[in-house]
Amino acid sequence: MARFARNYEKPLQLSVGVRPRRILGVYSETLPHVAMRTYTAVIERDPDTGMYVGFVPGFPGAHSQGESLDELQANLQEVIAMLLEDGEAPLEAEFVGTQTIRVA
């Protein structure tokens, strides 16, 4: 199994919501609006493939990968939006933060 770097100052913040819908060639802002939700993703880089791998702690199934951070963010937003289609999923854990551990 590949080892990943785990020391990040700022986790990637993802906002997932409803995209404007195009109806008869016009973007409608009068369609039902869903509040934007924000999730924190932990990002690692696989040293073997160079791919960025991300997951949302405590959110089963909320993980993806991408060749760039922008691609990873778009992939995670898509995955989370699909997972939320059946309603708000309760998180199994809460992301608290990161720590730097020094070992002599």
CATH 2.40.50 corresponds to the domain 15-84: no
- For 75, phi and psi rounded to 5 degrees? -65, -45
pLDDT for the residue 28? 41
**How many whole angstroms separate alpha carbon 9 and alpha carbon 63?**
20
- Whole-prediction pTM: 0.64
Q: Which residue has the higher pLDDT, 70 or 88?
A: 70
- pLDDT tens-digit map of 5-49: 444 445 555 666 544 444 444 444 444 556 788 888 999 999 999
Handedness of CA 31, 32, 36, 42 (dihedral sign): negative
The domains of the chain are located at 15-84
Q: Is 10:45 a contact under the CB 8 Å cutoff?
A: no
